[in-house]
Amino acid sequence: MTAPGAEQDTAAPERGELHALVARLYPICRSITGDGVRRTLEIIAEQVPLEIHEVPTGTKVLDWTVPKEWNIRDAYIKDAAGRRVVDFAACNLHVVGYSVPVHRRMTLEELRPHLHTLPDRPDLVPYRTSYYHETWGFCLSADTLAALPEGEYEVCIDSTLADGHLTYGEHVVPGETADEVLISCHVCHPSLANDNLAAIAVATHLARRLAAGPRPRYTYRFLFAPGTIGAITWLARNRDRIERVRHGLVLACAGDRGPLTYKRSRRGDAPIDKAAAYVLRASGRPHTVVDFSPYGYDERQYCSPGFNLGVGSLTRTPYGRYPEYHTSGDDLDFVTEEAMRDTLETVWEILQVLERDRRYLNLSPYGEPQLGRRGLYDSLGGRSDTKQAQMAMLWVLNLSDGDHGLLDIAERSGLPFDVVADAARALCDATLLEPVKEC
């Protein structure tokens, strides 16, 4: 089914729009299934149209099975005076994700095995889940636990775990070709602003920008799905068209103040790997590029050996590398509009390289063709980078042998990619180049 979406009326987000979307999504309790995911997708669909997919519990997806659906209404621990000392309504991280329902009275000693804290960060509430093992529990700060007196407590988790559905959403920006770029982010975490809401905001506004501009070369598929099981479900249901995915990027941890980190695909030298490394290096800003490992976000599903897609991952500070990771410290103050905009612009630049990078064939390869006679030098008059543009033409002509792409030429020549791409376009207009047909 298709959820309604607003028209795309701006190419770039207004100041504060990214953080505002994060703030709107932040209070929702999400998990790998349930109404929290549906509500999140409804809000995203106000920005971009989404096709919503509901996959029933028990469906086999590769080596996995779609689990039961989990929903929660309320949860608390009350002391002897009836005061809520742990309250789900105040912070949805307080309940272990997928906790089965419980309502009983227990002593603190009986309750302790079900309580999770962070002794090394005593003021923070941890985020914990138990998706595939039926149990229950609460998360609280170590400081709160230390202040609880011995005695009896009322414990309540008002939840349901029953047959239902796994839900995910897709948005497609049609391109000139059926070849696809996959942009993926997860929608399964509760109130964690950086991991994962910042990435959702970046992906949503990236989709809006692509839809508002000229028709792109590639078709762009945006996937908003629960982590791991969502990506696996999507792969299982799309095996007949996986070969269309030529490039991909998993977005996560997109809003903290740290520098950007790019994680290469399993291939290591896929076009997305080269484009991301080039854009980050050309920016001159601090950044990190790391090799693939089979641990992290959903890039490990897309890069599993049977699929081996050219999908990398872009974050700011990587998962587990900041103290606020998977804690109540990952709140609205932890993410900034400026960081999310920086992530968005970086992704945009990477995609523009992918859009323009292609291989060409020199149609006048015997000796250097006379550029002045064709008005190519004259057409560059007045440009501040005229000398660069002239050199770019010579480099493009020399290396357009059908084997080198424009990004290869930019890296070998040391010239900016945009200058090289502009030179190729001018040479094509002068019938000195033609694009190589891609398989």
Binding residues for Zn(2+): 189, 195, 326
CA–CA–CA angle 289, 295, 300 (5° rounding):
85
- Contact 125/327 with Cβ under 8 angstroms? yes
Distance CA 379, CA 426 (A): 9
Distance CA 299, CA 312 (A): 6
CA dihedral 95, 97, 103, 106 (to 10 degrees): -60
- Contact 34/70 with Cβ under 8 angstroms? yes
**Cα-to-chain-centroid distance, residue 312:** 10
Q: Identify the burial level of 251 via C-beta atoms within 10 angstroms of its C-beta, where 0-12 means exposed, 13-18 middle and 19 or more buried.
A: buried
Q: Give the SS3 label for residue 65.
A: strand
Distance CA 109, CA 383 (A): 76
Number of neighbours of residue 295 by Cβ within 10 angstroms: 9
Tokens of 423: 């030179």
Distance CA 160, CA 100 (A): 7
Distance CA 375, CA 51 (A): 49
Pick out the residues of the known binding site. Answer: 189, 195, 326
Residue 139 has phi, psi (to 5 degrees) of: -115, 135
Tokens of 316: 């700011």
Residue 154 has phi, psi (to 5 degrees) of: -95, 125
Is the dihedral angle over the CA atoms 416, 417, 418, 421 positive or is it negative?
positive
Residues in the chain: 439
Distance CA 41, CA 208 (A): 15
Tokens of 322: 């900041």
Where b means 16+ CB within 10 Å and e means fewer, 168-198 reads bbbbbbebeeeebbbbbbbbbbbbbbbbbbb
User: Measuring CA to CA, which residue among 378, 30, 367 is closest to residue 225?
Assistant: 30
